Amino acid sequence: MKSFWLLLFLCTWIWADAHIFVYHRFGDSRYPSTNTTLEELRKEFTYFKEHQYTVVPLSKLIAALKAKETIPDNWVVLTIDDNYKSFYQNGLALFQEFKYPFSMFVYVGATEQKYGDFMSWNELKECAKYGELEFHSMHHPHMTTFTDENIKKDFDEGLALFEKHLEQKPHFFSYPFGEFNPRVKAIAQSYGFEAILNQNMGAVASFSDVFDLDRSALVGKSDLQSFLKYKALNATWIEPLFLKKDGKVSHLHVKTAETQAHKGGIYISENGYREIALNEGVFETDINTTLTKERSRILISVGTKISTKLMVKDNVIQ
Ligand SMILES: [Zn+2]
């Protein structure tokens, strides 16, 4: 009995996880699916405060991951994708009130071309006094539909303008629409970012890949408390790794560190959820399905630990 409690304690300690969240628009009721109302934002910030969560800068989490430190399970990182004016006009004041740091991922082309809903270079510079500015592409493309050459063109153009106007190099990158595959990831990594963020629900633990960090979206009607319950599953995906144009997925093979687990769950978009028996923590099963949408998700779980693979159709690899 004693060893059971010791094991439980060790598990809690070993599996200490942080959570990265992503926001888009603030107090902008025209776009309910990407908006966070100010009432909701205050509720979330108050929840963090009252439940002893520590909101840390993304750079602090990345430094801890690189140093292979144990990641405290009360760490929360707040990121914002797309430099919408609504952050400057509505969201920023609340971040300042709570003294919460943030990382904003800049869609460079929108500011450069002065799109109405987006912040100006000067407004971005003002935000840089309170948070970190990072890179989110030049033209916000669906990168898996681009050739290697065109993806690189987007990075080259966007990074040059980012550095020219903001007089700093970004350290981190987040994919437009959270869409990527191994081909896009390799190109993004070649630009020397210290970390890359996706938009898959999940958590961050000491074993997490700094070039594939999960973020849960706090937009629309989000459920913060259930997001905070998820932990990161230490998983090595063998198959599938990406989605071809025909959308066929025949087999699933993922090794996890949960070698004592006998039961796991698989969720596939358009297919729903099912349980499967695990052999020493290995997920291996026939799928034999065709995913018809441009993007789908496969999520595997062991208890509350999850690992997600976003499957986006690649227009280049046949
Ligand atoms: Zn975006």
Question: What integer pLDDT is reported at residue 223 of this predicted model?
Answer: 87
List, in order, residues 6 or more apart from 88 with CB less than 8 Å away.
119, 123, 126, 127
pLDDT at 5 > cutoff 70: no
Separation of 176 CA from ligand 1 center, angstroms? 5
Q: What is the pLDDT of residues 184-206, one digit of tens each?
A: 999 999 999 999 999 999 999 99
Is 101 part of a structural domain of the chain? yes
Structural domain count of the chain: 2
One domain, residues 53 and 168: yes
Separation of 275 CA from ligand 1 center, angstroms? 34
State what percent of residues in the chain have pLDDT above 90: 85
| All residues with CB under 5 Å from ion ligand 1 | 81-82
The range of the structural domain enclosing residue 205 comes to 13-230
Separation of 83 CA from ligand 1 center, angstroms? 9
* CB neighbour burial string for 242-265, b if at least 16 within 10 angstroms, e if fewer: bbeeebebeebebbbbbeebeebe
Is 2 part of a structural domain of the chain? no
Question: What integer pLDDT is reported at residue 11 of this predicted model?
Answer: 47
Is 290 part of a structural domain of the chain? yes
Last residue of a domain, one of 195, 230, 265: 230
One domain, residues 197 and 289: no
Q: Is this structure's pTM higher than 0.95?
A: no
AA letter at 213? L
DSSP 293: S
Question: For residue 287, what is the domain's CATH number?
Answer: 2.60.40
pLDDT band of residue 220 (cuts 50, 70, 90) is confident
One domain, residues 131 and 218: yes
Question: For residue 23, what is the domain's CATH number?
Answer: 3.20.20.370
Q: What is the pLDDT of residues 61-86, one digit of tens each?
A: 999 999 999 999 899 999 999 999 99
Separation of 21 CA from ligand 1 center, angstroms? 14
Question: What integer pLDDT is reported at residue 273 of this predicted model?
Answer: 95
pLDDT at 259 > cutoff 70: yes
Question: What integer pLDDT is reported at residue 16 of this predicted model?
Answer: 55
Separation of 192 CA from ligand 1 center, angstroms? 20
Phi, psi angle pair for 157, to nearest 5°: -65, -50
Rounded to whole angstroms, the Cα distance separating 215 from 117 reads 24
pLDDT at 318 > cutoff 60: no
Question: What integer pLDDT is reported at residue 14 of this predicted model?
Answer: 43
Separation of 23 CA from ligand 1 center, angstroms? 10
Is 124 part of a structural domain of the chain? yes
